[in-house]
Structure 1
Amino acid sequence: MKLSRVRRLLARTLILTAAVLLAGSASTANAQPNSLFAKVVVIGVPGLTWNDVKASPELTALVNQSHIGSITVKTAGPHTCPVDGWLTISAGTRAWGSVPDEPCGDLPAVTNGQVQDWQTYVDRQADHHTGAPIGRLGQTNPAYRICGFGPGAAIALARTDGSVTNWQPELDQARLASNDCGDAIIDAGALPPREGRAEARKKVADLVAQARAADGWVLLVGISQTMANEHQEPLVAMQLPPDNGPRWLTSDSTRRPGLIQLTDVTATILKERTPAEVDPAGDEKKAGPLDGNEIHFTGDRHTDAAAVIQDRLDTNQRFEQPRPMLIAVSMTILAAELLALAWFVITRSPRSRRTFVFTLLMQGGFFIAVFLSTATVWWRWPAPGFSLYCVVLGISALLAGVAQVVLKHYAYLGIAAAAYGILLVDGVLGTPLQFGSMFTDGPVIGGRFYGFGNSTFATLAVAALVTAGWAAQRLIDKSRKQAALAVLAVGGAAIIVDGKPGWGTDFGGIIALTPAVLLMAWLTWRGSISWRALLGVGAAGVLAVSSVAFLDYLRPEDERSHFGTFVARLLDGDVSDVLIRKLQMAVQFFTGPAGWAMLVAVVVTMLATVLPERVPFQEYRTFYTSRPMVRPTLLALSTCGLVGMLLNDAGVALPAIMAGFAVPLLVAHLVASKQPATVSPESHLVQES
C-alpha cells in the first residue's frame, strides 16, 4: 500500500471516529415538571441525613409526598462546612469557603446590608483557583426578587460585592407568601450533633409546611456537613409537592436516578428565570457556565416510605465502602503474591510456580472484579463492607482460576480480552457497572458521576492495546495492512466507547489512547517510525480529540458533556483556573514518598519497553523479539501511559494503574510458560492461539 493511501485511510478513520463519538448523544434526564408553582422555595439544612429522616415521624411522612433523592455536597475545598455549601449555591459552581485543618466556623454576620468579610471569600476563590463566581445568584434582576431568610441565605443571595437585599434574619411567613417574594431561600440552621437534634428535625418539617402553605414548590436539601471532620455521606433531597406522583430526583449533571449535586440547586433557580429577569450587566455570562443542571424527576413511583428510606441508606453504603475496601483487597492480593513468590523462589516446584502464577492472574482479575462486583448488589447484603471485600476477592480468584485451567498459557489473554469486552459493553449501556465501583469517584468524593474515570480508562487502555496486539499478530504474517487495520478496529472501538458523550465521556482518556493506537497501527504497518511520522501521528491525535470537543461544543449548552464545556471555557478565556486545578491534582501525588515511588516504577517500566536489551532478565529480552507485535504493543502501552501522565489530572497514577494491570499479566505469562522466551502477557497479543 502506498503511503498516500495509508494517510487517507488514517484520516478517514479519524473522521469516522469523531462522527461516531458525537452521534446520537442526547440528554438522559426526564422532562422537568410541566409547571412550577408560584415560588421555588429552597430550604437548606446542613447535616440532614437519611438517618434523620428515618428517626423523625414528621420527615418520614414527607417521603411519599415528594420526589426523593440524595444530594452530594462536595465543594471545592477538602471539607464542606456550611459556609462552603452556601457559597457554592451562590456561585453555581463549587466554591471554597472554610479554612483547611480548622473546625467549621460560624457563618458571617450581615451588617448594614453587607455580608461581613465578603472579600475574604472572594480572595479565597482566587487563592485556590476554584473559578467560582460567588455572588452570581444574587445578580438576578431586582425586578424579580428572591427572598432570603437566615444567615446562610444571605451568603447565597449576596451580590458580587457582598451586598444583600430582600433578606431577613428569620423566616417571615407573611413575607414569604407575599408577591414581594419571587423565589425564596431559607436557612433552616445546622442540625446539632446530639442534644436538640430531634427538635431541630421537627423545625425542619414545620418549615416545609410553612413553605407549602405559601404556595411554594419546595426543595428540601442538605447543604453541607456540620463539622469539618464529620463522616461524609450524600445527604437528603426532597421536592414537594411531586409532579405526577413521587419519583426519583436526578439531573443532567449526574445522570443517575436518585442523585443530584449542590450546584443543581442554583441551576434550577436560574433556569426558571426568563432572559428579562437576568441581570442585564451580563454577570452570569462573564461568570462562565454553571456546574449544575436543572433538577428533574425520573423512574417509577414509590409509595413505601420505609422502603425508600432503606434504599437511601443502602445507597450510602454503596458510595462509602468501595474506597476503603479497595485498599483492603489490594493489600490482600499483594500479600498473597509476596508469599507465593517466596515459596516459588525457595522451592521452584511446579505447585509453587502455579500458585505464584495464580496470584498474578488474580491481580489481573481484580481489574475486572471491581466492576462485576456491582452486579451482585453487595450494598444490600449484611455487613456491606465485608461483603464487598469477599465479593471482589472471590470474583478475582474465580477469573484467575478459570483462565489458568481453561486457557493455560493464554490465561493473560483471556483476562485482557474479558476486560476489553466487559468495559465496551458497559460503556455502550451507559456505564452501569462503574457507578459505586472501587474505580469510580462517587458522590462522597464528588468525582465522576457518569462515564469512565481514570482507573477505568487505564484498565480499558491496557485491555484494548493488548487485545489489538494479539489480533494483529494473527494477521501480520498474511498482511501487514490487514494487521494494521485490526489495530485500528480494536483500538478505535475502545476510543469511541471511551470518548463518546453519554458512553465513556472521557476527554482525558481519548487524548492518551488515540496517539497510542495510531502509533501502534503505524508500527504494525511499517515496522518502524521516523520523527516526521511520529509528529504526524501526534498531530492526528490532537486533531481527532479537538474535533470531538468542538462538535460537542456546538450542541445546546444543557446537552454538552465536559468536552464541550471545556471548549466553552477556552473560548471565553476562562480556562486558566481549570488547568491550574488539574495541574495541582497531578502534582499532589508528590507530597509524599508514595508518589515518587510510583514515578520511579513507571519510568523503569517504560524504559524496559524502549531499551529491552538493558533489562536483566533473559526471558524478557528473548520474549521482546519473539513476535513482530510485541514491540509495537509495549511501545503503545508506554505512549498511552506517558501522554496520560503529562496531560491528565491523574498524573503519575494513571500509568501506575496501567502497569498494575499489565505487568502481572506479563510476568504470569513468562513464569507459566515452559519456554518463557516464546510467550508473554503481552505476547498473548503476539501469539497465535
Structure 2
Amino acid sequence: MKLWGPKNWGHFSVLLRTVAIAIAAAAAVLGSAGTASAQPVTDQSLLAKVVVIGVPGLTWNDVKASPELTALVNQSHVGSITVKTAGPHTCPVDGWLTVSAGTRAWGSVADQPCGDLPAVTDGKIAGWQTYVDRQAEHHTGAPIGRLGQTGYPICGFGPGAAVALARTDGSVTNWQPEFDAARLASPDCGDAVVDAGALPLREGREEARKRVADLVAQARAADGWVLLVGVSQETANAHQEPLVAMQLPPDTGPRWLTSDSTRRPGLIQLTDVTATILKERDVAEVDPAGAAKAGPLDGNEIHYTGDVHTDADAVIENRLDTNERFEQPRPMLVAVSMTILAAELIALAWFVITRSPRSRRTFVFTLLTQGGFFIAVFLSTATVWWRWPAPGISLYCVVLGISAVFAAVAQLALKRYAFLGIAVAAYVILLVDGVLGTPLQFGSMFTDGPVIGGRFYGFGNSTFATLAVAALVTAGWAAQRLIDKSRKQAALAVLAIGGAAIVVDGRPGWGTDFGGIIALTPAVLLMAWLTWRGSISWRALLGVGVAGVLAVSAVAFLDYLRPEDERSHFGTFVARLLDGDVSDVLIRKLEMAVQFFDGPSGWAMLVGVVLAMLATVLPDRVPSPAYQAFYTSLPMVRPTLLALSTCGLVGMLLNDAGVALPAIMAGFAVPLLVARLVASEQPATVSPESHLVQES
C-alpha cells in the first residue's frame, strides 16, 4: 500500500469532515427515533388484582378444539406468545424460571427429557442453587428470583408458580400447592401467579382444557384481570410453535396483544409477562434492593392494538395461519436452496460439455436465479402464502417463481449487466422494507422468527448480508458513472448510497441492527476513500477504522439516552456496559459465533469465505484470466470488492453470526459475479462508456 506524507493529510481532513457531517446527520436521525406506543394493556381501575395463569403447551389448536376456550376469544385481547428461553428447549422449568427472572433463563438439561418441576421443601425450592449455577454456566445473565424479590404481595398457586415467585435464595412465601379461589379473592393476595399444569399429550387433554377455562372464570371472579398464557412446550422434543395468550376482560373491546419487545400485533414474549407485572405496579420502587439491581428486563409491558375483533372462529384461524407463517420458512429455505443448487450443477455440466450459447444462457440464468432468491425471500411475504392451501408447498413455489422471474427479466433486459439489476432491486426493496418496519422480512426465510426466539423486528443477519452486498454493488455502480468526471463526487455517491443503507440498517425502529452497522460502516468509508484517492495508507486506514467506531458508538449512545422502555438493543448494550454487566452478553455472542465449527459445514464455510476474500486482495493468484481481466477493467471494481471483503471480515469477527455472515454475503455476491463473467464472451474488454461497474 502507498504510504502518505504529511502533505496528504489535508485531503484526509476534507474526507473526515465530510464523513463527520454524514455521521452527525445519521446520528441525529437515529437518536430521534422512537416507537409509537400502543394503548396501555388495561385501565388502572382494573388493576385491583392481576392474575397470570400459565399453561405449558396451550396451543391455538386447543382453543379451536375447546368450546369453553373458544368462548373466551371474543371476551379477550388475544395473541400468540413465543416461549423461547435461553436453552435449546423450553421445558416447564425453563418457562417458569424465565418468568421469575424477566429475562431468558436456562432451567432444563440439554439432550434430556423435561423433568418434573422442583418441589418446595421447608419453604424453599429444592435444588435452587443448581438453577442459579446453571445461569452462570451458560452465561444467561438471568437474575432468577427477581419477581419474588420485589416485596409486592404476589400469591402463588401450583409448583410452577413457586418457581416463578421464589426469592433469589430460593425461598417461597405466600404460596400454596393447589389453587384456592378463596385465597385468591382475599385482600392479602395482591396479584397472583397460577400454574394450571401442563396439558396431557393425549388422554385427558380435553378435561385439562375445561379445567383451564374454569380457572379463568374463578380468577375473573376475583375482581381483576386475567392473563392466560402458554409458558412452555409440554416436552423437550415438542413441535415448536407460538402458544396462546389472552387478556381478560378487554376494557376497550377485544383487540390484539402486542408489546414493544416484538412490535408486532398479536405477538408477545414470555418475558413480557414479568415486565407487565413489574411495570404496572412500579415494583422497583417497592424494593430497590431487589428488583432494581437485577439489570434490564428482556421484555416490555403488554399492550393492545388494532381493530376490535368479534368473530372467534376467524381469530382462531388467523392464529393457526400465523403459526404456518412462522413454521414453514426454515424447512422450505433448505428445499429451495437445494433445488437451485441442483439446477446450477446440471446447467454447469451442460455448459462445460457443450459450450453452446444456449447452455451458456441457461447456466447464467440459474446463477441469476440464485441472486433473485435473495429478493424472493422478502417479496414472497407480500403474497400471504400462509393462507394458501398447502402453505409449505405454496411457499416453495412462490419463492422459486419470484427468483426465476427476476432472473429472466434481468437477463432479457440487461444482458450481461443482469447482475446489476438484481443488486439494485435488492437494495431498493430492503431500504423500503426497513423504513416501513421490516414487514417483508418478518416471517420470511431470512428471519428466525418467534418459534426459536429470533428477531421480531429489524434486520437479521441474513437480511443485513443481502443489504450489504446490494448497497456496496449499487454504490460501486453509481461511483463508476461519476468517477471520470470527479473522483470526489464519486466518493460522495458512495457515502450517500452506503450511508442510506447504514441509517436504515441501524435506525431503531427500522433495521435496528447494531452488528450490521459495525460491519458496514468501515466498509463504506474504505470504499469512499479508495474511490477518492485510489489507494490508502496505513494511517488513513486507521482513520477510517476510528471514524467507523465513532459512528457506531454515537448511534448506541444516543439510543441509550432515550427512556429505558424505548431503547433498542443498542441502548441496552450501552446500559449493560456502563453497569459492568456486559460480560455474559459478549460470552454468549462468542459462543454463538464459534458454534458453527462444531461440524464440517462451518469449516467448509470458513475455507470458502477466506478464498473469496483472498481473491479480492490477490487477483493475480486467481486461476481465471477472465476474473483477472475483469478486476482491472474499471476503476470501481477493486474498491467494491475490497469493501465487500472488509464488511464480511468485520462482520465475521464482531458479529454473533460469525462465519455465517460472510458466507451469506458470498452466497449472494459470487453467483452474480460468475454470471457476469460467463455472460460476457470477452470479459476483459468492457467499454468505459457503459459506466457500469462490473461487481460481485
TM-score of the two chains, using structure 2 as the length reference = 0.97
Asked if 1:193 is matched to 2:168, the reply is no
**Pairing 1:115-264 to 2, within 5 Å after superposition:** 115-141=125-151, 144-264=152-272
Secondary structure at 1:71's aligned position in 2? strand
Check conservation: 2:284, 2:292, Cα contact below 8 A.
Answer: no
- What's 2:4 paired with? none
- What's 1:373 paired with? 380
> Post-superposition shift, 1:28?
4.2
- What's 1:500 paired with? 507
State how far apart, in whole Å, the 2-side matches of 1:336 and 1:397 are. 12
- What's 2:581 paired with? 574
State how far apart, in whole Å, the 2-side matches of 1:109 and 1:679 are. 75
Check conservation: 1:670, 1:676, Cα contact below 8 A.
Answer: yes
Check conservation: 1:644, 1:655, Cα contact below 8 A.
Answer: yes
Secondary structure at 1:46's aligned position in 2? coil
Match of 1:657 among 657, 664, 688: 664
Check conservation: 1:470, 1:686, Cα contact below 8 A.
Answer: yes
- CA deviations 1:361-412 (Å, max 9, x no partner) are 0000000000000000000000000100000000000000000011111100
> Post-superposition shift, 1:276?
7.2
Asked if 1:8 is matched to 2:17, the reply is yes
Check conservation: 2:278, 2:284, Cα contact below 8 A.
Answer: no
The one-letter amino acid paired with 2:148 is G
The one-letter amino acid paired with 2:388 is W
- What's 2:627 paired with? 620
> Post-superposition shift, 1:17?
1.6
- What's 1:449 paired with? 456
Check conservation: 2:449, 2:455, Cα contact below 8 A.
Answer: yes
Check conservation: 2:157, 2:176, Cα contact below 8 A.
Answer: yes
> Post-superposition shift, 1:12?
1.2
The one-letter amino acid paired with 2:434 is G
Check conservation: 1:154, 1:167, Cα contact below 8 A.
Answer: yes
Check conservation: 1:81, 1:98, Cα contact below 8 A.
Answer: yes
State how far apart, in whole Å, the 2-side matches of 1:41 and 1:47 are. 19
State how far apart, in whole Å, the 2-side matches of 1:199 and 1:34 are. 33
Asked if 1:96 is matched to 2:106, the reply is yes
- What's 1:293 paired with? 300
Identity of aligned residues (%): 86
**Pairing 1:593-672 to 2, within 5 Å after superposition:** 593-672=600-679
> Post-superposition shift, 1:679?
5.4
Secondary structure at 2:220's aligned position in 1? helix
> Post-superposition shift, 1:624?
0.3
RMSD: 1.3
Structure 1 pair 684–592 and aligned structure 2 pair: CA distance change class (3 A): farther
Check conservation: 2:284, 2:291, Cα contact below 8 A.
Answer: no
Structure 2: stretches of 5+ with no match in the other structure: 1-9
> Post-superposition shift, 1:676?
1.3
- What's 1:31 paired with? 40
State how far apart, in whole Å, the 1-side matches of 2:343 and 2:283 are. 63
**Pairing 1:350-389 to 2, within 5 Å after superposition:** 350-389=357-396
The one-letter amino acid paired with 1:8 is R
State how far apart, in whole Å, the 1-side matches of 2:252 and 2:548 are. 48
- What's 1:543 paired with? 550
State how far apart, in whole Å, the 2-side matches of 1:95 and 1:560 are. 22
Secondary structure at 2:684's aligned position in 1? helix
**Pairing 1:273-284 to 2, within 5 Å after superposition:** 273-274=281-282, 278-281=286-289, 283-284=290-291
The one-letter amino acid paired with 1:548 is V
> Post-superposition shift, 1:40?
0.7
Check conservation: 1:630, 1:685, Cα contact below 8 A.
Answer: no
State how far apart, in whole Å, the 1-side matches of 2:284 and 2:533 are. 61
Check conservation: 1:48, 1:221, Cα contact below 8 A.
Answer: yes
State how far apart, in whole Å, the 2-side matches of 1:218 and 1:17 are. 43
TM-score of the two chains, using structure 1 as the length reference = 0.98
The one-letter amino acid paired with 1:440 is T
State how far apart, in whole Å, the 1-side matches of 2:257 and 2:686 are. 52
State how far apart, in whole Å, the 2-side matches of 1:687 and 1:552 are. 38
State how far apart, in whole Å, the 2-side matches of 1:646 and 1:265 are. 35
Structure 1 pair 412–137 and aligned structure 2 pair: CA distance change class (3 A): same
> Post-superposition shift, 1:16?
1.3
> Post-superposition shift, 1:166?
0.2
> Post-superposition shift, 1:4?
2.8
State how far apart, in whole Å, the 1-side matches of 2:445 and 2:671 are. 19
Check conservation: 2:40, 2:302, Cα contact below 8 A.
Answer: no
The one-letter amino acid paired with 2:154 is I
- What's 1:307 paired with? 314
Check conservation: 2:30, 2:558, Cα contact below 8 A.
Answer: no
State how far apart, in whole Å, the 2-side matches of 1:292 and 1:462 are. 33
- CA deviations 1:134-191 (Å, max 9, x no partner) are 00000111xx310000000000000000000000001111110011011000000000
> Post-superposition shift, 1:37?
2.9
> Post-superposition shift, 1:275?
5.4
Check conservation: 1:673, 1:679, Cα contact below 8 A.
Answer: no
> Post-superposition shift, 1:675?
1.6
Match of 1:400 among 394, 407, 412: 407
Asked if 1:440 is matched to 2:440, the reply is no
- CA deviations 1:491-531 (Å, max 9, x no partner) are 00000000000000000000000000000000000000000
The one-letter amino acid paired with 2:65 is A
> Post-superposition shift, 1:687?
5.5
Asked if 1:67 is matched to 2:74, the reply is no
The one-letter amino acid paired with 2:32 is A
